[in-house]
Structure 1
Amino acid sequence: MGQDVDHRSEYDLSGSPRRGLVMATLSFFAGLTTIAFYGVAGPTFQEALGISGALLGLLLSSPHISKVLLRVPFGAWVDDIGARKPILILMGTTLVGFVGLVGTLFLFYPDNFGSHLYVPLLVFGILAGAGSATFSVGIAQTSYWFPEDKQGFAMGVFGGAGNIGPGIVNSVIPFLIGVAGLALAYSSWLVFMLAATALYFAYGANPYYFQLLDKGLDSDRAQSVAEDLGQEVFPGGGTWDSLKESSTNYWTWVLVFLYTVSYGGGFTALTTWYPTYWNLFHGMSLAMAGLFAGVFVVYGSLVRIPGGSLSDRFGGENVAAVSFAVMVVGAAIATVSQAVIPAFVGMMILGTGMGVANAAVFELVPKYVPDAVGGASGWIGGIGGAGTLLVLPILGVFVDVYGEIGYARGFVVIAGLSAICVAVSVLLKFYGPEPAEEIDESAMH
C-alpha cells in the first residue's frame, strides 16, 4: 500500500478503478441515450415532417450510423492514448447534433416544419449518435482499470447502469413533450448532455499506464509502475496494431456475432422498435408505449450487473448459452402474442436473456483477445451494433408483408438467431482458449 501511495504521489497520478468505472459509465449512460434520439418521438416527427414510413425508418436509424462507424476506430484508439480524449470528442460531437436539432425546433416547429428539413435532421441525428460510441471506448477503459478476476463485475456495472439511459429517455421525453412541447423537451435533454460532458471533463481519468506514458515514461517502465498499482491488463500496441491484431484473431469475430444478436440486433433494435410496437400494434398512447419500452430498457440494462457477476463465477460461455436460450423462449412468446400481458411477459424474458448475454460476451473479451482488448471492443461494439440497421428493416418488412400481425411475427427472426447463438456458446465451452492464469497454475503443478 505504501508503494502505491508513493507511486501515485511521485508521478502525480489521479483516479482509481472505482472512479474510472463511474466516469466511464456516466459517459456511456449519457451517450447511449442518443440511440433513441428520434425514436422516442417517432410518430410526432413523422406527422410533422409528412414523410413515409421508409423515410421515418431511416431517420430513426440515423444515430446508429455514427455508432457503427465510430465504435471501431475510437475503441481501438484507447489502446494508443487512453479513453479520456476519445470520450470528450464523441460527447462534443453529440452536443453539436443536439444544438442543431434544438435550434431547428425553436426556429421552425411547428408552423414551418416540413420535408424540406429532412436532410438537416438526418445530419443532426448522425452527429448526435456519436455519443453511443462511448460504449467501445468505455469497455476498453474499464478493462484496463480492473484486474482480470473483476472483469465480469466491472463490465456488468458499466453495461448495466450505462444502458439505462435510453429507457429513461423513452419514459421521460414523451411526457415532457406532452407538458412542454417538442422544443423544450429536447432542450432539457441537451442540458443533461452538457452536464454529463462537463462532469467527465472534470473527473474522467485514464488508467495509470496511459497517465504514465503522458508523463514521459517508456512503455516498459509505465507498465511496471502500473502493475505495482494493481493494473493487470495492458494494450499490446497502438490503435492500428490493436485493430489489426484483434481482427486477425478469429475469436473476435465469434464474439462479434454473439454481440450482434444479443445487443445490436437485439437489445438496441428493440429499444427503438418497442415504442412503435406498443403504440401501433397494441394501441397505447405514445407516453404509455414509451413507458413500456423504458421498462424493457431499464430492466434489460440492470440485469447485466448480476449477469457480469454470474459470468465471473460460472464462466462466460456457460452463462451465454443459458441466456441465449432464454432469448429463444422470450422471442417465441412475443411471436405468438397478440394480447398485452403475454406480450409484456415475452418482452421481459427477452430483456433478461439479452442483458445477461451482453455481460457474458464482454466478460470473454480479455480471455479471448487479451493483447488487443480495445481493438476487439471496437470491432464488437461497432459491427455488433450494426445489427440494429439490419434487424429494424426486417421487422418492418414483416409488417409490410403480414399487416398488423407482422409486429408480432417479426420476433421469429430474433428467436432463430438466438438459437444459433446457443449452439455457438456451447461450442466455445469446449473449444475456446483456456485462461492464461489457469495455464500458468497447471504448469506450476
Structure 2
Amino acid sequence: MSHEIRKKEIISKESLKGNPNLGLIAGTIAFFAGFAAVALFGTTAHLIANYLNLSIVEIGWLVAIPLVTGAFLRIPFSALVDKYGGRRILITQLIIALAGMIGLIFTLRAILSHEITNHLVGYAFVMTFGAIAGTGISTFSSGITYVSYWFPQKRQGFALGFYAGIGNTAPGIFTAILPFTLASIGLIYSYATWASFLGIMIVVFSIVGFDAYYFQIVKKKKNHNEAIRIAREAGEELFPTGSATKSLVDAAKVWSVWLLVVMYFISFGGFEALTEWLPTYWTKYVGVSTVEAGILTGILFSLVTALIRVLGGWLGDRVGGEKAALASYIVMIFGSLIMIFSGANFTLDVAGEIVMALGMGAANGAVYKLVPKYAPHSVGGASGWVGGLGSAGGLLIPPAMAAFVQTFGVHGYSLGFIIFTIFSLVSIAFSLILKRYYNA
C-alpha cells in the first residue's frame, strides 16, 4: 500500500511543469507588460492637457490615475494568488488592462476628431479608461507572490529584485521611446502600438507561465497537506494558507508589515510618482524639450532605478534587508536635498535625479526582501498590503507636488521634493527599529 502511495507521489512530481527560473521569467514578462502603461500617461499628459485645457492640478491627477487602480487592486489580486495561483490572476489583470487601453484609443480618437468637445466629458472618459488600464500595474504584487512561491528564502532577495528590477524598466524604456513614436506616428497610434504589445505579451505569458508546484498539485485534486508534502520534496519552501481573506488578515497582524508599507510608499510609490511627474518638472521648470525630458526621465531616472533594484535585492541577501534599506534611504535624502536646492540648474538636477534613482532602486529591492521574511505564511497578503498601500505614493505624490507649484509658483517644483526628505527620514527610523528588533 505504501509503495502504491509513493508511486503516485512520484508520478505527480514528474508531471509538474515549469521550474523556478522559468517562473521568474514568466512573472517578469507579465509585470513588464502591465507596468508599461504608467509611462504612456507621464509622457502624453501634456498633449492630452492641451486638447482638454487642463490645469496643473488636473494634470497631476491625470498622470496619477493609472496608479489608483494599480495601487489598490494589488491588495485583493495578490491575496487571490494564495487561493488560485498566480497564472490565472495575472492573465485576468492583463486582459482588464488591455480593455482599458482599447477604451483610451477610442476616447483619444474622439477627442482629436472633435467628436468629444466638452472638457469635463473628455476628462472623465480619459480618467475612467486610464484607471482601467492601470490594472496592469497591479500585476506587481500578484507577480511578486507568484515568483515568491517558486524560490527558497535564501534566494528571495535576488529573485524578487530581478523580477521587480527588470519589470520596472518598462516605464523607463517607454518614457524614452514615446517622444519619438509620438513624433513619427502620433498619439493614437502610439497607444495602439502599446496595446498590441500588451496583447502579444498576454499570449506569451499564457504559454510559458506555470504556477508553483503546490498550486499545480492542488489542481490535481490533492488536499492541502498532501500538496505541501509533494511540493516540498520538489524543492518548494513557501506555502499559502489557501484563503485570500486569511492571508490578508494574518499579514495585517504582523506589525513590521505596516512599517514596510510606509517605507515602500516613498521608495516605490515615489518611483511611480516621479516617473509621471519628472517630464513636467523638466519641461516646465528646467525648460528642456519634450524629447530631452523623456530621455532624462526614462533613462537617467526610471531605468536606473529599476536596474539598481536588482542590486538592492542582492545586497539584502548578503547583508540583510534592514541594513540595505537603511543605507538606501540615506542616499535618497541626499538626492532629495540636491533637488530642493538645485534652483533649476541643469547639472544639479541631473545629479540629484541620479542619486535619488540609486537610493530608491536599492530601497525597493531591500524592502521586498523583507516581505517573505516577516510574513512567510501569508506572502500574498503581505505583498498585497505593502505593494498596494505602499504604491499609493504614486497616486498621492504627483498632486501634492502640483499643489506646491500652485502655492509657491515656479519655485514649488523644487520645494515639492521636501516630501521625499521627510518620508526618507521616517523610513530610516523604521529601518533602525526593524534592525534592532530582529537583531539584523
Structure 1 residues 234 and 240, CA, compared in 2 at 3 Å: closer, same or farther? same
Q: Does 1:273 align with 2:277?
A: yes
Q: Does 1:382 align with 2:388?
A: yes
Equivalent AA in structure 2 for residue 290 of structure 1: G
Q: Does 1:210 align with 2:218?
A: no
Q: Does 1:236 align with 2:241?
A: yes
Q: Do 1:66 and 1:127's aligned partners in 2 also have CA atoms closer than 8 Å?
A: yes
Equivalent AA in structure 2 for residue 65 of structure 1: V
Structure 1 residues 433 and 379, CA, compared in 2 at 3 Å: closer, same or farther? farther
Equivalent AA in structure 1 for residue 284 of structure 2: L
For each residue in 1:356-407, what CA deviation from the matched residue of structure 2 results, as whole angstroms up to 9, or x when unmatched? 0000001111111111011000000110011222221221121112211211
Structure 1 SS opposite 2:73: helix
Q: Do 1:96 and 1:128's aligned partners in 2 also have CA atoms closer than 8 Å?
A: yes
Structure 2 distance, partners of 1:388, 1:8, is 47
- Equivalent in the alignment of 1:282: 286
Deviation at 1:433, TM superposition (A): 7.3
- Equivalent in the alignment of 1:159: 164
Q: Which moved more, 1:149-158 or 1:420-429?
A: 420-429
Listed as ranges, the gaps of 5+ residues in structure 2 are 1-5
Structure 2 distance, partners of 1:334, 1:55, is 24
- Equivalent in the alignment of 2:339: 334
Equivalent AA in structure 2 for residue 332 of structure 1: L
Structure 2 distance, partners of 1:235, 1:163, is 26
Q: Does 1:362 align with 2:368?
A: yes
Listed as ranges, the gaps of 5+ residues in structure 1 are 435-445
Q: What is the correspondence of 1:33-432 to structure 2 with a 5 Å cutoff?
A: 33-112=36-115, 114=117, 115=119, 116-264=121-269, 266-295=270-299, 296-337=301-342, 338-432=344-438
Q: Which moved more, 1:352-361 or 1:424-433?
A: 424-433
Q: Do 1:80 and 1:239's aligned partners in 2 also have CA atoms closer than 8 Å?
A: yes
Structure 2 distance, partners of 1:149, 1:326, is 26
- Equivalent in the alignment of 2:3: none
Q: Do 1:308 and 1:356's aligned partners in 2 also have CA atoms closer than 8 Å?
A: yes
TM-score norm. by structure 1 comes to 0.94
Q: Do 1:173 and 1:185's aligned partners in 2 also have CA atoms closer than 8 Å?
A: yes
TM-score norm. by structure 2 comes to 0.95
Structure 2 distance, partners of 1:118, 1:301, is 31
Structure 1 distance, partners of 2:104, 2:373, is 42
Q: Do 2:282 and 2:288's aligned partners in 1 also have CA atoms closer than 8 Å?
A: yes
Structure 2 distance, partners of 1:241, 1:109, is 48
Equivalent AA in structure 2 for residue 404 of structure 1: V
For each residue in 1:330-379, what CA deviation from the matched residue of structure 2 results, as whole angstroms up to 9, or x when unmatched? 00011100211111111010000000000000111111111101100000
Q: Do 2:69 and 2:132's aligned partners in 1 also have CA atoms closer than 8 Å?
A: yes
Q: Give aligned-pair identity as a percent.
A: 38
Equivalent AA in structure 1 for residue 271 of structure 2: F
Aligned length: 431
Structure 1 residues 228 and 393, CA, compared in 2 at 3 Å: closer, same or farther? same
